[in-house]
Amino acid sequence: MTILKANFKYNVSWLIIMVAGFYLMNTLMLMGIIDSFIENMLVVIGINIILATGLNLVIGFAGQFSLGHAGFMAIGAYATAIITTNSATAGGFYTSIVVGVIIAIIAAIIVGVPTLRLRGDYLAIATMGAAEIIRIIINNLQITNGPSGMFNIPQFATWPVVYIMVCVTTILIANFVRSRAGRAIKSVREDEIAAESAGINTTNWKLAAFVFGAATAAIAGSLDASYLQTIAPTNFGIMESISILIIVVLGGVGSLTGSVVAAVVLGILDTALQNFGTLRMVIYAAALILIMIFKPTGLLGSHELSFKHLFSGTKRKGRVRS
């Protein structure tokens, strides 16, 4: 909470922009400029923003190469699917989000404690394996309807709900990153050994980022289930984790703005290229390789669009970029 107060000015400014954006989109929809087709695209973009910013927190800011994001998304999705199918009320929906987040946090701790001490490439495979274990378990439970998945999930995630969730999660993540906790996490990414010697409990902070990321993934999953109304275990496999990774990498690992921009760009591209089918994925894969070879820092590198710079004005010259 103190973090939120400290960044009060920026939070308020962003809040104003977000509210303005909401009204803008609402108006456009009422005017019929944004039809249901585009609305669909916006919702998907919104969910991807939540996923990408959450993953960016883990990979970009904490420097932990996790490829298991889809597993936590699945937890949120199924929590919502199961609970709202049995209790088709708004209360049930929001409860399911909370339940999903809680289960995801527990799962993240169980997965994170043993695996976060692993090095880069091993951590990637281990988290991938962990997500697959989650998916396989879901695939074999009665309550989740197994491999056939669940459908006719009541829809509570209308676009205003998604929009608000996107804003909330983004503000929370942005504040987390700018806080003392965020700095600790960044120091772990920069040089873990140095951070240890400075007395920072690296294990705890890495876990904190990982858990936070998992929680946001669960929220995204809940929204996904409630909007699309159909889910199946195959939606949450390795391909899905890689797709989110592509968004993060494209936008710039370490830049939240980048993740948002990339999610928007890819969302529009996805819709535009819809008829290309699998060729779309081929293009993305090729793009990923080319970006890694020629501009590994992605679209925005680790820059952020920030009111800090606007507000500090002339003071900026002496400031060190964090």
Query: Which of 10, 65, 72, 159 is in the footprint of other proteins by CB under 8 A?
Result: 65
Residues numbered 140-179 forming contacts with other proteins, rule: CB under 8 A: 140
Nearer to other proteins, 118 or 168 (CB): 118
Nearer to other proteins, 129 or 301 (CB): 129
Report the distance separating Cα 33 and Cα 134, nearest Å. Answer: 41
3-state secondary structure of 180: helix
200: contact with other proteins by CB under 8 A: no
Report the distance separating Cα 27 and Cα 102, nearest Å. Answer: 36
274: contact with other proteins by CB under 8 A: no
139: contact with other proteins by CB under 8 A: yes
285: contact with other proteins by CB under 8 A: yes
Query: Which of 108, 217, 249, 263 is in the footprint of other proteins by CB under 8 A?
Result: 249
Q: And the tokens for 245? A: 């990774």
Q: Which helix (H) or strand (E) holds 233?
A: none
Query: Which of 281, 302, 303, 305 is in the footprint of other proteins by CB under 8 A?
Result: 281
C-alpha closest to that of 125 among 242, 206, 266, 269: 242
CB of 267 to other proteins, least distance (A): 19
CB 210 within 8 A of CB 107: no
Site string (116-135) toward other proteins, x via CB under 8 A: -xx-xxx-xxx-xxx-xx--
Instruction: Name residue, tokens 């009060």.
Output: 8
277: contact with other proteins by CB under 8 A: yes
Report the distance separating Cα 130 and Cα 213, nearest Å. Answer: 15
Nearer to other proteins, 90 or 194 (CB): 194
Report the distance separating Cα 74 and Cα 231, nearest Å. Answer: 9
| All residues at 6 or more sequence positions from 276 whose CB lies less than 8 Å from its CB, including other chains | 283
Q: How many CB atoms lie within 10 A of CB 123?
A: 20
Nearer to other proteins, 288 or 305 (CB): 288
Binding site for other proteins (CB under 8 A): 65, 67, 114-115, 117-118, 120-122, 124-126, 128-130, 132-133, 136-137, 139-140, 193, 238-239, 242, 245, 249, 277-279, 281-282, 284-286, 288-289, 292-293, 296
